Structure 1
Amino acid sequence: MMCAIEAGKRGRRVLVLDHAKAPGEKIRISGGGRCNFTNIHASPKNFLSANPRFCISALSRYRPADFIALVDRHGIAWHEKTLGQLFCDGSSRQIVDMLLAEMKAACAELRLQAPVERLERAGEGFRLSAGGAEIACASLVIATGGKSIPKMGATGFGYQVAERFGLKVVETRPGLVPLTFEPGLLSRLAPLAGVSVGVRVACGKTRFEEAMLFTHRGLSGPAILQISSYWREGQAIAVDMAPGVDVFAALRAARAERSRQAVATALAQHLPKRLAELICETHGAGGNLADAGDKRLRAVAEGVNAWTVKPVGSEGYRTAEVTVGGVDTDALDSRTMAAKSVPGLYFVGEVVDVTGWLGGYNFQWAWASGWCAGQAV
């Protein structure tokens, strides 16, 4: 839709094909129905790609302030949550309606329930069959997203198109997705399902500090969704469940002041009660502080400040918010999003190997990459 708006403004005759029944469904469900439509801190450092520099051009030419200005022009009220995330005060449908209104003003046509059945090169342009109609075009933009949330109609169509025209695709996998544990560990952690705690989680050199949620399948919450995009099967993650607190020092101080207090009670000053109790039980510290030596307290502290755990997998595309990987950026022009080897063919948004962090970054990439393509098609 963003690309269509910009191309229409330039006087191009534009047709948007969507196999769904309604436009912008991922916009509609995002942000709990309020659409986290951008992030004021969006910059290249907030994105994953085999070529981290590819997104620089688009993100610098169409910034969060540009989309905010569009939202303001349409009178849509919004607010900032944590970490620069911007949400609508009302429904996310306002963003969809805004884009549809902009498309209409730019004379861009939208055709719903029109899946592409056939696509081929035709001279210097393209010919396709979609929704029972035969269509010819000079330029073709693939803005189909990734495989995330298949129940909403997500498919690998965009990657198939890229490969059909000889473009490489970087291996895809679920991103911004809950991580899962093996049955034995799940059984031990079962009492914690529903418990949330602020953490600092790391995988390799990458780390995030946000909330973590224990679930009946493993771990979720913003911190885990963030690190999941960097995690690969077989790797462990390190979790500090009391960032900024030296738990060993805190427990020793508590022992000196309140030796008859239970270790779990002292630990619960820094963690949710259920979590504190389970950690103490795991490390054999179920009694009072007076009965726990430094070795025992250090083991408890490490269980809090340096919990290392190896997930067995993720919940997959079913719940993943994005797809990591995609059309190889080496095959694309970073200013126009055009395929270098196929004149007239463009790829924008999530289908490209550019994946943002949680918090409005992926929408900003969609707006920016779509805007860039719209200036060139």
Structure 2
Amino acid sequence: MMPAPFHTGSRVVRRLLAWVLVCVIAAGAAAAWWLNEPLARSAEPLELAIEPGTTPRGVARDVVQAGAEVNAQLLYAWFRLSGEDRLIKAGNYEIPAGTTPRSLLRMLVRGEEALRALTLVEGWSFRQIRQALAKEDMIRQDTASLSPEEIMTRLGRPGIPAEGRFFPDTYSYAKGSSDLALLRRAMHAMDRKLEAAWAARAPDLPLKSPEEALILASIVEKETGRANDRAQIAGVFVNRLRTGMLLQTDPTVIYGMGERFYGNLRRRDLQTDTPWNTYTRPGLPPTPIAMPGKAALLAAVQPAPTRALYFVAKGDGSSHFSATLDEHNRAVNRYQRGQSQ
């Protein structure tokens, strides 16, 4: 009887299948190792800019050009095999040390862009905001050649003064984003804060509109040395508005002087008329003089009940409040001139 060749052939097939299985397992292990191995890099920091419309293959090339020492074809193959290649988002990224092909794709799919932060400080003027934006080398300077009026037109608020219209806070932004976009966010934040403050205003305030509340809040912001005095200072100004007294607040005079102010406010400055000189003109000035924070906004619409019509800085950041001129003059002699009672 002749032996059946089938058994010999089946042994060859089994050996071949076993070898293929070993190769598959080895390839899988190698792939798993590669996906979780930190990318070698020739640059620090590794910054990746993905333009809108870039293909997954182009993204892989951009990663290599940014300084990652990885095979672009292999990286592209991983993008495709993951099934998430079309979910990669355009943007500006910083790829930290230790990033693996797996975590890189996760970052790009989630759009975890590299963010910077800019803090707009309470009490800053719009000129100071623009100076701070100009120093941000990672933000696109779209407003550099524009006037404040042109900026407000671009923001959809033609005819509205720029001063005081932006809320002081810390704003994150992606590298390469527009300064106009950051200003728009700050403007909308102020819209919300002002609307909420106006809705919570005390009854019988001598303020006709949210805009007047914003102006008063900006004065309160500039006059306040200690947070505990803020509502009391607002109460003084509200009392003066009710009785028709001049506000007589130095920060408005300084604002009206603009670049002519060199740090020393003189008597003749108080007597020189400008639209913002509250020593020469009654009522509120025509615009805010700075960015008020949330506390100043609330103080302006919820002033402390007080009989005080005057206050003077005590030299330690706090203020002394007086209901009469005689009492105020004594406080000035004591705290400003160093004279005993």
Specify the TM-score bucket, using the shorter chain as the normaliser: under 0.3
Q: TM-score, normalised by structure 2?
A: 0.23
Higher relative contact order (CA 8 A, sep 6+): 1
If each structure's strand is expressed as a fraction of its own residues, which one has the higher value? 1
Which has the greater radius of gyration? 2
